[in-house]
Amino acid sequence: MKYAVVLPDGASDEPLADLGGKTPLEKARIPFMDQVALQGRLGRVVTIPEGFTPGTDVGTLSLFGYDPRRFYPGRAPLEAAARGLRAARDEMVFRCNLVTVLDGVMRDNTGGHVHQDETDALIADLHAALAGEGCAFHAGVTYRNFLLLAGAADLEVRCAPPHDILDQPVAGYRPAGPGGPRVREIEDRAAAVLADHPVNRRRRAEGRPPVTGIWLWGHGRPRELPSFGTRFGCRTAVISAVDILRGLAVLAGMERIEVPGATGDLDTDYEAKGAAAVRALDSYDLVIVHVEAADEAAHMGRADEKVRALERIDEAVVGPLLERLRRFPEWRILVAADHPTLVRTRGHSAVPPLFAYVGTGVPSGRGLPFDDRSADASGDWVREGHRLMEVFLRT
């Protein structure tokens, strides 16, 4: 049996006036995702257990078959694993976004889509300036970076994801709890370092928004995961440009396939991802492909870009995988969103997203297309999201 899983990040959404009352999935031309739903099983899956903040970290952990209530370590430790970062016994790992806050409002959680060379320079200077405060900064991918904070293994602090407070005043979302003052001071010191940084002088001169500071969140300590291969008997490869997925692959004992041109943004090379996934089917039992673009478009508030991203995923990833899988004697494919990302709010939602799968041994579906309203109409629910992978692979 050959298996493929396609994860269009944040694909689920709500009806939008800009789309004539349709959701992005309803508006998009996605014939291959529709085939999966029309011919197979379609429904909703609870990827975000009660009490958890909706995000790719929790949602994807569920879809990989791990119960977040047992195995969730925080977002930053998952991403740090992809970078080979190891926290010492007294360290806490934080995700460190480069952000743009203007007049006290979170204007951009990506620092104006900061470029990698700019990120490298900013993070290096932050590390030099704050190393004496127990801060070890590490560059990640563009705005997605890391802080290893010493003397903080038992730090108690509450932090808000920056992408969930876009266009809102940040004052009510600063780090809180017993450890809040220390983390806020680090953010304030970083803002002072960046205020007149050469990177920001150049960005202002070019008419681009400055990177005004850092936003620390997603903190936690590393936690081991049971081997995916041992649990399910599959040799598995993961294709993603996002460190959450890469880190999960490392911790779960899966192989990572790096694809040139895969960016985790709207400019990602969809065709290269699809082609790499098709090739990987010859060597692996299960291939998982994650594409971030629809989520990024929703965070920008761009319904048109979200529709376009979904269409590109369908054409360049789902379509070629379906064509290749059908040449094997036995096969299955699953398409599942980790969580909804709403164009209207530019943030994540805890509403259970949709899933569909089809292939050998899967009973015929109800003939409904791949969209949120059809998933509701199906009446099919997976109430514990971490069980979907086992159902897909074993029943």
Q: What are 115-162's pLDDT values in tens digits?
A: 999 999 999 999 999 999 999 999 998 999 999 999 998 899 999 999
Domain 2-72+226-394, what fold?
A: Alkaline Phosphatase, subunit A (3.40.720)
pLDDT of residue 46: 98
pLDDT at residue 331 tops 90: yes
Helix/strand/coil percentages in the chain, nearest 5:
40, 20, 40
Residue 120 burial by Cβ neighbours in a 10 Å radius (0-12, 13-18, 19+): middle
- CA distance linking residue 11 with residue 9, whole number of Å: 6
312 confidence band (pLDDT: 50, 70, 90): very high
| In the predicted structure, residue 195 carries a pLDDT above the cut 90 | yes
Looking at 73-77, 191-195, 314-318, which range is the least confident one? 73-77
* Cβ atoms of 10 and 338 closer than 8 Å: yes
pLDDT at position 332 is 98
Calpha distance 387→395 (Å, rounded): 11
Q: Tokens representing 282?
A: 């010859």
Q: Please state, rounded to an integer, the average pLDDT across all residues of the chain.
A: 96
Closest CA relative to residue 176, chosen from 187, 191, 192 = 187
**Residue % of the chain over a pLDDT of 90:** 93
Give, as one character, the DSSP assignment of residue 133.
Answer: G
Query: What 8-state DSSP symbol labels residue 322?
Result: H
Tokens of 271: 């065709």
pLDDT tens digit sequence for 223-238: 889 999 999 999 999 9
For 391, left (φ over 0), alpha (ψ -120 to 50), or beta? alpha
Domain boundaries, the chain: 2-72+226-394, 92-220
pLDDT at 311: 98
Q: Residue 141 has what pLDDT?
A: 85
Residue 255 confidence (pLDDT): 97
**β-strands 286-291, 2-8 pairing:** parallel
Q: What's the average model confidence in pLDDT over 367-394?
A: 97
Rounded alpha-carbon distances, angstroms, from residue 197 to 33, 98, 140, 203, 284: 46, 13, 19, 10, 47
Amino acid at 14: E
Alpha-carbon separation of residue 78 from 75, 122, 245, 290 (angstroms): 5, 23, 8, 15
* pTM across the whole model: 0.88
pLDDT-based confidence at residue 395 (cuts at 50, 70, 90): confident
Mean pLDDT of 10-24: 98
Helices (H), the chain: 24-27, 31-39, 56-63, 68-71, 75-82, 116-130, 180-195, 198-205, 228-232, 243-252, 270-280, 293-299, 303-313, 319-325, 372-378, 388-394
Least confident of 35-49, 77-91, 104-118, 364-378: 77-91
pLDDT for 297 equals: 97
- pLDDT value at residue 26: 98
> How confident is the model at residue 87, as a pLDDT?
87
**What pLDDT, on the 0 to 100 scale, is given for residue 153?**
87
Q: Please say if the pLDDT value at position 365 is more than 90.
A: no
The pLDDT value given to residue 222 = 84
**pLDDT of residue 63 exceeding 90:** yes
From the number of C-beta atoms within 10 Å of its C-beta (0-12, 13-18, 19+), residue 27 rates as buried
Q: What percent of the chain has pLDDT over 70?
A: 100
What is the CB neighbour count within 10 angstroms for residue 289?
28
Give the dihedral sign, CA 255/258/259/265.
Answer: positive
Q: What is the pLDDT of residue 146?
A: 96
pLDDT at 366: 87
Encoded tokens for 221: 């300590």
Cβ proximity of 344 and 2 under 8 Å:
no
Mean pLDDT check: name the lowest of 6-10, 196-200, 240-244, 356-360: 240-244
pLDDT at residue 35, as a whole number: 97
Size of the chain, expressed as the number of residues it contains: 395
